[in-house]
Amino acid sequence: MWKDDPVNGVIVVASVIIGIIVLPNLFRVAKYVFGALLRWRETASLAASVSLSRERNLLFLVSLLPVSLLMSRYELYHISLMDGQEPWVVSLMCLGALSLALLLRYVLVNNFAPRRMGDAWKIARTNILNFFIIAAAAGLLIAGIASFTNLDDSLVRKVLLSVFSVLFAVIIYRNFEILSWKGQRFKAFLYLCGLELTPAVLLVVSAIIF
């Protein structure tokens, strides 16, 4: 079982230790990161501060590991190549798939930036980092409650997928607000579909096809 795998146990412990180390960073940027769900100006304020942006970027990198562990533990992402693999290998494969999707997004947003929307785009493209921090925090809270209440894994999986989907949708909508603040709503919609949604869609499609 996933939770009985010793290597996974080491990865989980390492993730917890790293999480404790960066807690002060989270407290300093929490207002802006979680506020990004409610107002796009919180994202703008965060992007305008070099020191706060660095702390947010660090938290984003740290959040990738727990999100990958949740993907592995509750099979939020599963392809046929994972069948028969050790649980810790599946965890690393989830981290690899997530990293590839983010790499594709990085290439897209840095090479196909919309013209005449430069300032807004610089703000909007950082919002996905906030999403991963929030998703990691929410996912760990849900997983913690599930472990204490012995909830069925299939139910936890549905809850996590629902929460992650809603969080992602909210962040995408905030990006739409940022990019369309000068009235360019149609262009904002096109760029969000092409640059932000493409990596996420490909990740989902890969799980369906493979």
Asked if 74 and 156 touch (Cβ cutoff 8 Å), the reply is yes
Q: Cα(first)–Cα(last) distance of the chain, in Å?
A: 23
Predicted local distance difference test score (pLDDT) of residue 99: 96
Q: What is the pLDDT of residue 182?
A: 66
Please, are residues 202 and 194 in contact by the beta-carbon 8 Å criterion?
Answer: no
Which pLDDT score is estimated for 186? 82
Angle at 34 between CA 30 and CA 40, to 5 degrees: 120
* pLDDT mean by block of 10 residues, the chain; 210 residues: 88 93 95 94 92 96 96 95 93 96 91 73 90 96 93 96 96 90 77 86 88
In three-state secondary structure terms, 11 is: helix
Could you give the CA distance from residue 187 to residue 120 in angstroms, rounded to a whole number? Answer: 12
